[in-house]
Amino acid sequence: MESETPVLEVLASGAGISIQDSGRSGWKRFGIAPGGAMDLESARRANLLVGNDAGAPVLELLFTGAKFLVLTSSELAIAGAEVECDWPTWRNFRVEAGGEISFGPLRAGVWSYLAIRGGFAAPRWFGSASANPRAGFGETVQPGTRLACENRLPPEEISSRFVPELVREEYGQTPVLPVWRGPEWDGFNDEARGKFLEQTWRISAQSDRAGYRLEGIALESRLRMPSAPVAVGAIQVPPSGHPIVLLRDGPTVGGYPRLAILESSSISRFTQCAPGTDVRFALTE
Amino acid sequence: MDDVAVSRFGPAALLVEFADKVDRESLARCRGLMGSFEENRLDGLVDVTPAYCSLLLEFDRPEHASNQVDRVAQLLKSARARPVEEAPLFEIPVCYDGPDLEEFARRNSLSVPNVIELHTAPVYSVFLIGFSPGFPYLGPLDVRLNAPRLENPRPRVPAGSVAIGGEHTGIYSIASPGGWWLLGRTDAEIFSTKKALDDGSAEAFLLRQGDSVKFLPVEEFSP
């Protein structure tokens, strides 16, 4: 990264910054999680706003507090959480060298994405730049880190792109997300299945890129089974009775019964449910 | 192969269930099915995750899952079990000086030399790779060595730790949190982050599902 011309310097990392793209596939048989941006949909939109491939490396910002210094005039875009920023979100914008970008109060959501025209330069592990510190993938992004562009692209010909408000997700409201019956659905009793679908769950503070824990009235879970395959969106119920929704850096196999599976197209929305906020589930047909 | 079932797993994945108990026969069936999915490419297949009694086929789009249920069922029928006897054997040196060794021996009413003898006697099979990159779940484990996981998992277990958890033994492939009993350590590189760079290669992993493993007790590692 150091050998290329730096375009952006991190002044403050807020709750955390990592480089993410659309993740890696084909390696789960060796215990490698798919990784990738938690809210893939917002990361994709941020990239498209600056004319990148949808899966180019972006910066994933947790909550808020990040601050950057622009070292080389650049075209950027921000998408994701509803966060205050001194630059417009959901549209491309140009910052001249010496300009700063800082993130203020967070209104709703969890993850924000900062994309740069040309994508951020980053090494790949199994074909993806997605950071996963536990697996040893990705370099630390912290105050002082200087980031470079992967591809030097000429300035955009289309001067202005934006995502209309109409098609953006609302993160302030309690979502009702569609789920499929999981392989062990029939192994839970009627009461447990009813409680799962009828109650409003709260996202636990013990949530991260591997999975979000749900707090509420515990579900009775007596099933014991040998470790079985899981995937992003699988909803496991450990003996505590509090479900865990597995996400991008989650395990590849697990020994807890899989009650339900979150509809793939709702995973991005789910990841924007902040700890302490509520979510409900409804069975798809 | 008979008695194999395929079902939907969410919108874009199919679950293949091929056994109802864990033994070398279930492992041979899993290896046979994995081989079959490698030889017969399914449209839009992006990941295959094998486990003890089932495996998961993940597709890029829901249509690729829903349209290929019959094709998968056909492949399952024609697949043949692949016995583990044909798999390569890895001899892995272990220095039995783990922080939990003495406590583990005491709780299982064994002497430390007994534990080492029982742990090094069998030729294990890699039943599964999972939990973390390249982490092998080895078995079958002598029942005298079974022990529930630690009540307080460690926040950091060093890479190369050889450990027991429940009815399994395994080797921590990277430094990670962990709740297994640490009996010893190996200098064998189970996972190489360096070989994962760029597109990565399967050489990043020392072991594959079905491989055989024998632990060799050593006082110290040869340089």
The pTM score is 0.95
- Contacts of residue A240, Cβ cutoff 8 Å, sequence gap at least 6: A218
Please give the pLDDT value at position B57.
98
Determine, yes or no, domain membership for B162.
yes
Contacting residues of B for A263, CB less than 8 Å apart: 10-11
Determine, yes or no, domain membership for B94.
yes
Query: What does the pLDDT look like over B50-78, one tens digit per residue?
Result: 999 999 999 999 999 999 999 999 999 99
Tokens representing residue A128 in the block:
């993806």
Same domain membership, residue B99 and residue B59: no
Is the distance from CB of B45 to CB of A26 less than 8 angstroms?
A: no
Please give the pLDDT value at position A1.
43
Look at A31 and B134 and tell me if their CB atoms are within 8 Å. yes
Look at A183 and B174 and tell me if their CB atoms are within 8 Å. no
Is the distance from CB of A123 to CB of A90 less than 8 angstroms?
A: no
Q: Residue A60 pairs with which residues in a beta bridge?
A: A18, A113
pLDDT at residue A153 greater than cutoff 90: no
Same domain membership, residue B202 and residue B126: yes
Determine, yes or no, domain membership for B91.
yes
Same domain membership, residue B135 and residue B44: no
Query: What does the pLDDT look like over B3-25, one tens digit per residue?
Result: 999 999 999 999 999 999 999 99
- Report ipTM (2 d.p.): 0.94
Query: What does the pLDDT look like over A214-251, one tens digit per residue?
Result: 999 999 988 888 899 999 999 999 989 999 999 999 99
Nearest CA in chain B to A264: B11
CA-based nearest distance A238→chain B, Å: 15
Look at A27 and B200 and tell me if their CB atoms are within 8 Å. yes
End-to-end CA distance of chain B: 47
Return the SS3 of A166.
Answer: helix
For residues B94-98, give the mean pLDDT.
98
**Residue numbers of the domain that contains B168:** 87-217
Same domain membership, residue B149 and residue B124: yes
Please give the pLDDT value at position A157.
67
Is the distance from CB of A281 to CB of A245 less than 8 angstroms?
A: no
Same domain membership, residue B124 and residue B81: no
Look at A227 and B52 and tell me if their CB atoms are within 8 Å. yes
Determine, yes or no, domain membership for B195.
yes
- Percent helix, strand and coil across chain A, each rounded to 5? 15, 35, 50
For residues A1-12, give the mean pLDDT.
82
Same domain membership, residue B209 and residue B111: yes
Please give the pLDDT value at position B182.
98
Look at B13 and A231 and tell me if their CB atoms are within 8 Å. yes
Chosen domain end from B56, B85, B114 = B85
Distance CA B43, CA B46 (A): 9
Determine, yes or no, domain membership for B223.
no
Look at B128 and A253 and tell me if their CB atoms are within 8 Å. yes
Q: What is the DSSP string of chain B?
A: --S-EEEE-STTEEEEE--SS-SHHHHHHHHHHHHHHHHSPPTTEEEEEE-SSEEEEEESSHHHHHTTHHHHHHHHHH-----GGGSPEEEEEEB---TTHHHHHHHTT--HHHHHHHHHSS-EEEEEE-SSTT-EEEEPPPGGG-BPPPSS-EEEE-TTEEEEEBTEEEE--SSEEE-SEEEEE--S-SB-SGGGBTT--GGGBS--TT-EEEEEE-SS---
Query: What does the pLDDT look like over A231-241, one tens digit per residue?
Result: 999 999 998 99
Distance CA B150, CA B174 (A): 19
Please give the pLDDT value at position A219.
97
Please give the pLDDT value at position A170.
87
Please give the pLDDT value at position A158.
66
**Exposed / middle / buried, residue B11 (Cβ in 10 Å: 0-12, 13-18, 19+):** buried
Contacting residues of A for B198, CB less than 8 Å apart: 123-124, 127
Please give the pLDDT value at position A266.
97
Please give the pLDDT value at position A2.
42
Look at A253 and B176 and tell me if their CB atoms are within 8 Å. no
Same domain membership, residue B199 and residue B130: yes
Q: How many domains, chain B?
A: 2
CA-based nearest distance B52→chain A, Å: 6
Contacting residues of B for A265, CB less than 8 Å apart: 11
Please give the pLDDT value at position A255.
87
Chosen domain end from B59, B85, B111 = B85
- Contacts of residue B150, Cβ cutoff 8 Å, sequence gap at least 6: B100, B179, B180, B181
Please give the pLDDT value at position A166.
83
Chosen domain end from B69, B85, B101 = B85
Query: What does the pLDDT look like over B150-186, one tens digit per residue?
Result: 888 898 999 999 999 989 999 999 998 899 999 999 9
pLDDT at residue A210 greater than cutoff 80: yes
Contacting residues of B for A137, CB less than 8 Å apart: 193, 196
CATH of the domain at B57: 3.30.1360.40
pLDDT at residue A71 greater than cutoff 90: yes
Tokens representing residue B41 in the block:
């490419």
Please give the pLDDT value at position A222.
83
- Domain layout of chain A by residue ranges: 6-152+160-167, 176-283
Give the number of C-alpha atoms closer than 13 A to the C-alpha of residue A23, restricted to the C-beta side.
Answer: 25
Same domain membership, residue B95 and residue B75: no
B131 vs A84, more confident: A84
Number of Cβ atoms within 10 Å of the Cβ of B72: 21
Same domain membership, residue B79 and residue B19: yes
Same domain membership, residue B213 and residue B165: yes
For residues A250-257, give the mean pLDDT.
92
Distance CA A20, CA A268 (A): 14
Determine, yes or no, domain membership for B103.
yes
The four Cα atoms A251, A257, A260, A262 give a dihedral, to 10 degrees, of -10
Look at A180 and B62 and tell me if their CB atoms are within 8 Å. no
Determine, yes or no, domain membership for B222.
no
For residues B138-156, give the mean pLDDT.
92
User: Looking at domain A176-283, does it have CATH number 2.40.100.10?
Assistant: yes
Contacting residues of B for A228, CB less than 8 Å apart: 51-54
Among A112, A173, A152, A146, CA closest to A1: A146
Angle at A174 (CA atoms; ends A168, A175), nearest 5 degrees:
60
How much is the mean pLDDT over chain B?
Answer: 95
Task: Report chain A residues touching chain B, CB-CB < 8 A.
Answer: 25-32, 34, 123-127, 134-137, 180, 182-183, 226-231, 233-234, 251-253, 261-265
Contacting residues of B for A125, CB less than 8 Å apart: 193, 196-197, 200
The rounded percent of chain A whose pLDDT value lies above 70 is 98
Distance CA A200, CA A215 (A): 9
Determine, yes or no, domain membership for B105.
yes
pLDDT at residue A4 greater than cutoff 90: no
Mean pLDDT check: name the lowest of A54-58, B48-52, B143-147, B176-180: B176-180
Nearest CA in chain A to B127: A227
- Contacts of residue A151, Cβ cutoff 8 Å, sequence gap at least 6: A118, A119
For residues A96-113, give the mean pLDDT.
97
Nearest CA in chain B to A226: B52
Please give the pLDDT value at position A48.
96
Angle at A169 (CA atoms; ends A163, A170), nearest 5 degrees:
125
Same domain membership, residue B51 and residue B31: yes
Look at B130 and A27 and tell me if their CB atoms are within 8 Å. no
Q: Which residues of B169-201 are buried (b: 16+ CB within 10 A; e: fewer)?
A: bbbbbbebebebbbbbbbebbbbbeebbeeebe
Same domain membership, residue B78 and residue B92: no
The rounded percent of chain A whose pLDDT value lies above 90 is 87
Instruction: Give the residue from B45, B56, B189 with the most A CB atoms within 10 Å of its CB, the best one to mutate.
Output: B56
